[in-house]
Structure formats: C-alpha cells, structure tokens
Amino acid sequence: MNRSGNAVVAVVGLGYVGVPTAMSLVAAGHRVIGFDVAVERLTNIAEANIDLPPADLTRLRTDLASGLLELTVDANRISKADTVIVCVPTPVDESQAPELTALHSACNTVVAQARSGQSIILTSTTYVGCTRELLVGPLTDRGFVVGQDVFVAFSPERIDPGVSGHSPTATPRVIGGVTPSCTHHAAETLAATAAELHEVSSPEVAEMTKLLENTFRAVNIAFANEFAEVAESMGLPITEIIDAAATKPYGFMRFTPGPGVGGHCIPCDPHYLLWQLRRTRGSAPITEAAMAGIVQRPSAIVSKIRARLADAGRPMAGSRVHIVGVAYKSGVADVRESPALEIITDLTRAGAMVTYSDAFVPAITIDGKRVPTSSSEAAESADLILVHTLHPGETEWWTSGHDTGRPQVLDMTFRSEPRLIPDMH
C-alpha cells in the first residue's frame, strides 16, 4: 500500500468541513477523490461557487485543474483510496436529537467499499462509541480484522470558518485509533495536514474530546449571555466589565455575549452528549441548563424587541424591524442554525414588518417566503434596528442615529453598547 506523500485519499462528504479537508490533503501532496451524493454540490465546487475566502477559491481552482482533486458521485471510486476520511454533517433534529441519516449512509457506503490495507478515519462529531458501532462492527461482519486488514480511527475536525488567519494545518489534531496500528496509519495520512498530532488511547477518548471542546464553548457562551442580562439589570455595561476581567492573565478566558449561537457545531454537538446520557439514564445538569439557555436565547431577544417597542409606545404588530446581519457568525455566508432565522420567524408571526441586510447573505427564505432586504438608508426609517452579526470591515452606520429616538438600536454584538451609568438605589 502507498503511504507516501502521493497516497490516494477519499474524502466522503464535501461540505463545509470536507472541502477544506480535501484541499489540505492536496497541499500535503496527496491525490484526493472527493465523493458526495449531492450532484448540485459537486457542480458548485467544480465552478468554485461555494463559501470560501477568495484565496481559498483560487487554490480550489488550481487543485481541480491539476487533477489532484477529483469530484465524483461514484461510490466505487472510494475503493481506490489508500485512506478514506468521513466528513459528513451531524446536525440535530427539531427535538434536539441527533440526526444521523447522513452519517449512517456514509459509513455504510465506506464499509461496502472497504478493501484490505485501507485506513478509515471518521472526523464527523458524534456520540461516544459511534466509530466502533458504525465502522468497526460492520467491517468485522464483512470479515476484516480491524488493526490488521483495515485500520480505523476517529480524528475530529478543527475548522473555524470566517476567522482571518486561521488554518486547519496550523492547529493540533487529536487521533484515537482502535489499535496502536490504526492510530499509526491515521497519523501517517494526517501528519502533513496539522501543526502537530496528539494521539489518544482510543476512538472513544477522541470522540469525547470533541464533545468536551464544543460543550465547553456552549456552556461559557450561555454563561456570558446570562451575565450580560444580570449586568444590564444593574445598569452596568457588560463589554466594559469583560474588558476589565480580561486583563487578568490567568484563570479567565474571554467569552462575549451575543444573539445566540449557530453553525454546525456549538448548537448541536452538546446535544449528542445529552442524548447519549438520556439513553443510559445519566445526566449533566450544567450542560443541560446551558443548552436550554442557548435554545431560549432567540425568543429572549424577541422579548427585548417587544419591550423596547412598547417603551416607545409601539405594538409589535405593524412595527418595522431591520436586522443587521443574519449569518450565524462574522465573515461567513452560513445561516445554519443562525439565531436570526428564529428571531425573524417570531417577529413576523407577531406582525412585525422585518427586513435585513447582510453582504454575505444576499437572500434567505423562511417558511417559504423570501425575507425582504433593505439598504442602510431605508433601514434608518425603521422603528428598531437589531444588530445581529457584524462582518469584517462593516461600518456601524446605525450608531449615528442612536440617540435620536428613531430608530432604536438593540446591539446584540455589544460593540456599540452605550456606557451606562449605574443606579443601584
């Protein structure tokens, strides 16, 4: 088997994680077979019509033109790879239970195409034990001896979309193989795609590591949101408080409050842990409380909007609300799990007339209806402006009218937060 720099690697799932993974493998000298079941997605990738920074789009075009990155819907091509990396999304459904359809399908396909000598690396965030359940068991049923005939490991992705200067290749990577030889084979493939490799004793340890990373973020974001509410109730500016606390060089890590969390990780991953605990009658009260706070955050913001309008003598019905930024985070065109979607839905159902502006998201459809966009000039006639997401370089045009009484501004990024004067009496 070829494990040199020109090994063939199949990437199964070419979404927000799969494409950067494929590109990092090409940069490391591998030939990559990119497999996805969605023809439209492959067409968009082939045309470089996807959400990537301009420099990465240029690299993508180069990779495709060189033939080092192949795009296919033919599952049989997976059997030609020395290593297979599974990168499919693992969202949750409306009841916050894991939606495993894509993961099951991908693993079934990979197992069906597996051949002797092949390495299989699962990178999708999932519950503890999933690697053994969806890969090791079925491979064993096919007659393979894992650790001798095929090599299986879990190595969670660490990609931070929209963050300038972030590179997956500059980030350490965790790898947990079923056997030491499985870890070794996975490390050979991934060595050139990460700043360093941290090997752990099992797939389960690696799976739980990823859940800890994102649950840690979820809990702290929920706490930051809660602390912001407490500070506001005391007439204190949370941004100034966080800035002051961040001067402590130890024992404190900055987490900034906001409109909520979105994307494919933080709103979803902790629910995989909670779902698994419920199946075993376990519990994680702190995590449960944090996730409840995250789920409730959009409706809490709608309540703030209602209260602000009421203070101005306006009912929600008929009021004009403009939302600045609907992407789930700054610098991306991704609206998956964005709090803005639920906020818009609730405002519209309450009778508000909602518009939005977002240079990264030119169009969104909610409940089958396209949400109207509005220019900053037109938005200045709104009754309230909700600042949801600020993209890099965006001018805070709404601050000029902050003290005029109209429009009111509710800045949930807290960047234009007024310096409040405390009144504790």
pLDDT in tens, 59-68: 999 999 999 9
pLDDT in tens, 201-228: 999 999 999 999 999 999 999 999 999 9
CA atoms of 375 and 322, how far apart (whole Å): 10
Cα distances (angstroms) measured from residue 409 to each of 4, 73, 79, 229, 363: 57, 48, 56, 17, 23
Nearest-10 crossing angle of helices 285-311, 269-279:
130
pLDDT bin (cut points 50, 70, 90) of residue 121 is: very high
Of the ranges 57-66, 166-175, 353-362, which one carries the lowest mean pLDDT score? 166-175
Whether 375 and 386 have beta carbons less than 8 Å apart is answered as no
Q: Does 362 have pLDDT greater than 60? A: yes
Q: In this predicted structure, what is the pLDDT of residue 189?
A: 95
Query: Which residues are marked as active site?
Result: 265
- For the chain, which domains are there? 8-199 (3.40.50.720), 214-411 (3.40.50.720)
pLDDT in tens, 154-168: 999 988 766 655 677
pTM (2 d.p.): 0.90
Alpha-carbon torsion angle 78, 79, 82, 83, nearest 10? 40
pLDDT in tens, 242-254: 999 999 999 999 9
